[in-house]
Amino acid sequence: MQDANIPENPADPAPAGSPYAIFQNRDFTRFIGGRLAATLGSQMLTVAVDWELYQRTHSTLALGFVGLAFMVPMILCTLPAGHVADHFDRKKIIQAANLLMAATSLGLAAISWWNAPVAWIYACLVVLGVARTFLWPATAAFLPGLLPRHQFARGVTFNSAAFQLSSVLGPAAGGLLYAATGHAALIYLLNVVAALTFFALMFFIPGRPAAQERQPVTLQTLIAGFNFVFANKIILGTITLDLFAVLLGGAVSLLPFFAGDILKSGADGLGLLRAAMPMGAVLCALWLAHRPPLQKAGRAMLGSVAIFGLATILFGLGNRLCLGRWLGLTALPHAFWFWFAFAMLALCGGVDNISVVVRQTLVQILTPDEKRGRVSAVNSLFIGTSNELGGFESGFVAWLGAGAFAADPTGAIFSVVTGGIGTVLVVLAVAKIWPEIRRYGKLA
């Protein structure tokens, strides 16, 4: 499918044989480098926050509130964030958001160093959520302006790979640093450096003027992104699929409990588990980059989300308390179950990356440039809130499960397994409600 909204420049070279020819574009390379650094710091921060809260509260509900703290600003700020991304210079928005993230990380470092009340951590996470809400639509809408049409799908793949690579290195580095120092403050300070790196690299990329004349903020201009999404069945279906799959199938928020109480792997094990999904995604992205565009993109996305749900179920059951007991394998060492869990999470990350590439490409190529900021904001709202609300949902269900089964580890397992089952059911429902997705063909 060709996109009339990403104009082909006649001066652009013909598509090169090497998938890495795209990095001859210096602006794209700087943008990807900035995202790599910023996401690296953000992922280190996330694992530090999770482990600090786990150590200070030892509560699944406290971990679930992390998702809630990020979700509230998304709901409140998504509409204005989309409007701003379509009516102001997206480069300046990206830089301002990174400055705010750096300042918030300084606050977290101070809170951690002086052992301030946990409530202040949640307050900082709310501010961080505001910065992220304005950053996401601006970066998503900024990317199409860096690339010609024939390179865009591959650019999305490498953009996703950069995010996932930093998601591999960030949690592992954060877990190891936390285990080595016993404190989170240094990790928060490293995120300050990472955010400022993205801020600095954006100076070398030309600004992108607003796609249209500035308009007054009205209800009609704010909801234009929602109207477009609900009028386009393919975009609506793909976003809905990802929303509910992540809402039900996300096990990430409970990883501290799996690392600490179920798999007995500690803070460094938590870092490795958090790195497993993005590691699988990086490998998948490299595989996709060396292949032609997906020929049956719709079916590939539906199948990948179904596998995500099945792998989530196996992750939840793959331990001494479940498969070990049922199969008489309790004598196997904890290391075996740890690496089994790691493999299931890596599989989740690999198949999830297929879904991400398909969805992000479709959202951008099917949306006019003057609406990309607002449609990207809607996409961020759907996906971001499902991530954060999914974290709260997982923690809450684990808390309920612990009450029902009188064991916190069993409650966490119950939450993950039922979420995986729900993900598979969502795939079946989406395939039935939106048959256009099943029939969607070549991704180009």
Q: Using DSSP, state whether 356 is helix, strand or coil.
A: helix
Report the pLDDT value the prediction gives residue 102, as an integer from 0 to 100: 96
Residue 431 resides in a domain? yes
Q: Is residue 406 part of a domain?
A: yes
Residues 51 and 255: their CA atoms lie apart, in Å, by: 9
**DSSP assignment string, 93-134:** HHHHHHHHHHHHHHHHHHHHHTT--HHHHHHHHHHHHHHHHH
Contact 270, 260 (CB under 8 A): yes
The dihedral built from the CA positions of residue 33, 38, 39 and 41, taken in this order, carries a sign that is: positive
**12: in domain:** no
Amino acid at 228: F
Residue-level pLDDT at 396:
66
Sequence-distant (≥ 6) Cβ neighbours of residue 309 within 8 angstroms? 245, 248, 249, 420, 421, 422, 423, 424, 426, 427
Q: What is the pLDDT of residue 288?
A: 82
130 domain residue, yes or no: yes
**What's the number of domains the chain is made of?**
1
Those residues whose C-beta lies under 8 Å from the C-beta of residue 298, and which sit 6 or more positions away, are: 358, 436, 437, 438, 439, 440, 441
Structural domain boundaries enclosing 71: 26-439
pTM: 0.67
* Residue type, position 196, single letter: L
Per-residue pLDDT in tens (0 to 9) along the chain, 444 residues: 334 444 444 334 444 457 778 888 899 999 999 999 999 999 899 889 988 988 888 776 787 788 788 888 888 888 888 878 888 888 999 999 999 999 999 999 999 999 899 999 999 999 999 999 899 888 888 887 888 767 777 788 888 778 777 777 887 788 888 888 888 899 999 999 999 999 999 999 987 665 555 555 555 655 667 777 777 888 888 888 877 777 776 667 778 778 877 888 877 788 788 778 878 888 888 888 777 777 788 888 899 999 999 999 999 888 877 887 788 777 788 788 899 989 999 999 899 888 888 887 777 777 777 777 777 777 777 776 666 566 666 666 666 655 544 345 667 788 888 888 988 998 999 989 888 888 887 765
- Contacts with 274 (C-beta within 8 Å, 6 or more apart), sequence order: 43, 46, 47, 167, 170, 171, 172, 174, 175, 252, 255
CATH of the domain at 47: 1.20.1250.20
Is there a domain that residue 355 lies in? Answer: yes
Do the domain assignments include residue 11? no
User: Does residue 142 lie within any of the structural domains?
Assistant: yes
- Determine, yes or no, domain membership for 74: yes
